[in-house]
Amino acid sequence: MEIAPANYCIANAQIVDGSGGRPFVGDVEITGDVISGIAPAGRGKGEQRFDVNGMYLSPGFIDIHSHADYTLLVDGSAESALLQGVTSVVTGNCGHGILGTVNR
Q: Are 70 and 84 found together in one domain?
A: yes
Same domain, 52 and 17: yes
Total domains in the chain come to 2
pLDDT at 70 over 60: yes
Question: CB 78: neighbour CB atoms within 10 A?
Answer: 16
71 and 53 belong to one structural domain: no
Asked if residue 76 and residue 52 are part of one domain, the reply reads no
DSSP string, 10-78: EEEEEE--SSSSPPEEEEEEEETTEEEEEEETT----SEEEE-TT-EE-PPEEEEEE-HHHHHHH-TT-
pLDDT in tens, 10-65: 999 999 988 889 999 999 999 998 999 999 999 999 999 999 999 999 888 888 88
